[in-house]
Amino acid sequence: MIRAEAAAHFDAAFRDRLQELLRWRRDVRHFRRDPVDPELIGYLLDLACLAPSVGHSQPWRFVLVDSPAARAAVRANFLACNEAALAAYEGERAELYARLKLAGLDEAPVHLAVFCDHDTRSGLGLGRRTMPEMLPYSVVTAVHTLWLAARAHGLGLGWVSILDPARLRADLDVPPAWQLVAYLCLGYPEAEHDRPELERVGWQQVDPAARAVLRR
């Protein structure tokens, strides 16, 4: 049960720890197979639901993918999409891509699909008439909140984007108004790092332009 205090105070020590948490939150692809307590998963989802959402719409919908058949369908989806993605690269870049481990589907004990419910009536449309994409953006905030909460409990999270969303929605038999936002692998990481794996393996270094701030 999450308890709200009447007032909150965050001191310098907390702020330092928060910076540390942000730095050590990584996209994990290498998992141990140790099971994760279902009560912990439930608690983390409670924390994810504290994320902000446009008009307080709370459009996130969670699907725990447990059955061998559903996981096999997800894996087949990934393999097909990954093969197509590899074909888009040439030369040394293709060779490097082929060596990358881009998902922990086989090892992660927890698979979680996160959808945006475009039919949600919560929020009564507030704040999204001009920017309807704010609904899936809200779901992204829930994913990021879950990511940080999981890391704080020693868990790693990997976001798998090399998937056909329509095929996955059909395989998981969810309502047609649900848009896939994230397919997540969750579990205890084999190793912990404070630098992104794609940076460590030479795929992409930190881009200074990502920190640029314009003034108008």
In this structure, what CATH number is given to the domain that contains residue 154?
A: 3.40.109.10
- DSSP for 98-144, written as a single string: HH-----TTT-SEEEEEEEETT--TTTTTT-SS-TTHHHHHHHHHHH
**158 strand-pairing partners:** 185
In a domain, 212, yes or no: no
In a domain, 21, yes or no: no
In a domain, 213, yes or no: no
| Residue 67: DSSP 8-state | S
In a domain, 210, yes or no: no
Domain count, the chain: 1
**Do 22 and 148 form a contact (C-beta atoms < 8 A)?**
yes
In a domain, 153, yes or no: yes
In a domain, 8, yes or no: no
Q: What is the residue range of 150's domain?
A: 27-203
- Name residue, tokens 């969810």: 174
Closest CA to 201 of 106, 52, 99: 99
In a domain, 189, yes or no: yes
Which residues 6+ apart lie within 8 Å of 204 measured at CB? 198
In a domain, 194, yes or no: yes
- Write out the chain's pLDDT in tens, 216 residues: 556 566 788 999 999 999 999 998 998 999 999 999 999 999 999 999 999 999 999 999 999 999 999 999 999 999 999 999 999 999 999 999 899 888 999 999 999 999 999 999 999 989 899 999 999 999 999 999 999 999 999 999 999 999 999 999 999 999 999 999 999 999 999 988 888 888 888 888 888 898 899 999
Closest CA to 133 of 179, 172, 182, 184: 179
